[in-house]
Amino acid sequence: MIQYIYSLIPSIFEGLKITIKIFIITVALSIPLGFFVALCRLSTIKIISKVTQFYIWIMRGTPLLLQLVLIFFGLPYVGLVFNRSTAAFIAFILNYGAYFGEIFRSGIQSIDKGQYEAGEVLGLSKTHIFIRIILPQVIKRVIPPVANEVITLIKDTSLVYVVGIGELLRAGKIASNRDASLMPLVLIGIIYLILTAILTRGFNLLEKKYEYYQ
Amino acid sequence: MLKIKELNKKFKGNLVLNNLSFELNKGEILSIIGKSGAGKTTTLRCLNGLEKPDSGTIQLDNLFLCKTEDEKFSYAQKKELRIFRRRMGLVFQSFNLFPHMTVLENIIEAPIKVLNMDKIAATREALETLEIIELEDKKDAYPCELSGGQKQRAAIARALVLQPEYLCFDEPTSALDPELSKGISSIIKNLSSKDMGILIITHDMDLVRNTSDRVLFMDKGKITKESTINEFVV
Ligand SMILES: Nc1ncnc2c1ncn2[C@@H]1O[C@H](COP(=O)(O)OP(=O)(O)O)[C@@H](O)[C@H]1O
Ligand SMILES: [Mg+2]
């Protein structure tokens, strides 16, 4: 039994590496994208705001799985060919960028307009008000919804199997089929649980760090 | 002198300021009283560049925030607005302190950025201001750790540190119990004795009696009556 589990480690480890890679790259790029999306969505220039709204609607209104398939299998028909992992990154970053965008937008909008006005009356510039007064408060408020999204993301990475990328879950499935055993899948489940537990703990610490004010 | 002339402001067809005119001198305390919805807050917001009137003139000595000349209305450019704001301060009814900054940080933010002070000088000024306002012991507290009266004093200190020539208060006693209201009266009187012009909008008669030189009565966006404090007391 123990020996069997040992024998699974190398393939599971390979899968885990890919899962973590997709996770980290998506987080690192979709959060800045989301910030940009939020600013565009809140832009006073109508066309920018409308186009952004449309993008968000598409990304949130269709399954990520479908987006992944269309980007990898569909775009080549219009001459855009990506390799598997590029297609996966594009789909994940665009999709999560939209979700983060909405989180940041509602975070920015939740700040009392009195905060802007207090800054204006003191003679601070709009940019200074946004960076020094609004943004720090937004960050505190968006930590919980961002944490939710990030935890969903770690599980969503399993979707890349549809374009044939061998991540964690796929490694488990292959072993499970080969050995006619559910043990690999149980192991995979435990690994996901550990990953989400680490993330949850990390975000809890981050929340604590911002508890010094209300 | 601060001069407001024939100010008009509509919100969605609803006339909130109706040919409003009044003046305020340096060293003078002027109160405007009136029912809720009379347009008092809107008046202060116009004076502080938070709301654009539709027409009329707001003039600080020979600096114009807006003016109507030959029926043409013009509003200050960015640079003039900035100068105007430097000379005019506002203490909001809800204080609007920055919750993620300590009292001291709240106060030094603008001097550093707007008056280009370095942090040491700004801190020195801030501590002096806090001493006047008797809040030095709370300099490292966050707004959520302050009582209503302390929040208000922090907000006053934040405005004062920029040394405005005129300071507006929106309902300064609305969040305070009667005991604290006396304290705010003496702070306000003390400021005007340093030649600051003070505009208070309120419906607290005691505050008016205890502080003001003149009182204006406002209704439906215009001044309906003016009296000196002596007439008012009778
Ligand atoms: N931003 C706004 N949009 C629409 N109506 C407003 C706005 N601000 C104030 N008003 C209206 O203007 C009137 C005067 O408001 P305000 O100046 O706050 O009165 P006061 O401070 O004397 O109670 C009220 O009827 C209020 O509903
Ligand atoms: Mg009011």
DSSP calls for A137-192: HHHHHHHHHHHHHHHHHHHHGGGGGGGT---HHHHHHHHHHHHT-SHHHHHHHHHH
Query: Over chain B, what is the mean pLDDT?
Result: 92
Exposed / middle / buried, residue A138 (Cβ in 10 Å: 0-12, 13-18, 19+): buried
Q: Do B92 and A112 touch (CB under 8 A)?
A: no
Give ipTM to 2 decimals.
0.93
Digit-coded pLDDT (tens) for A156-201: 999 999 998 988 999 999 999 999 999 999 999 999 999 999 999 9
Could you tell me the pTM of the whole model?
0.91
Note the residue count of chain A.
Answer: 214
Ligand number nearest to the C-alpha of B93: 2
What single DSSP character describes residue B99?
A: T
Q: Which CATH number fits domain A2-213: 1.20.210.10, 1.10.510.10, 3.40.50.740, 1.10.3720.10?
A: 1.10.3720.10
| pLDDT for residue A133 | 97
Assign B46 to helix, strand or coil: helix
**Is pLDDT of B178 > 80?**
no
| Between residues B179 and A7, the one the model is more confident about | A7
Please determine, for residue B138, whether its predicted confidence score (pLDDT) is greater than 80. yes
Q: Residues A87, A90, A95, CA angle at the centre, nearest 5°? A: 125
Of all ligands present, the nearest one to the C-alpha of B38 is: 1
The span from the first CA to the last CA of chain A, in angstroms, equals 52
Cα gap A139→A147, rounded to integer Å: 12
- Give the strand pairing for B63-69 and B72-75: antiparallel
- pLDDT tens for residues B58-78? 999 999 999 998 889 999 999
In sequence order, the 6+-apart residues with CB closer than 8 A to the CB of A10 are: none
Q: Give the whole-number percent of chain A exceeding pLDDT 90.
A: 89
What is residue B233's predicted lDDT score, i.e. its pLDDT? 61
How far, in Å, is the centroid of ligand 1 from the Cα of B167?
Answer: 21
* pLDDT tens-place string over residues A67-77: 999 999 999 99
Q: Which pLDDT does position B180 carry in this prediction?
A: 77
Cα B46 to ligand 2 centre (Å): 13
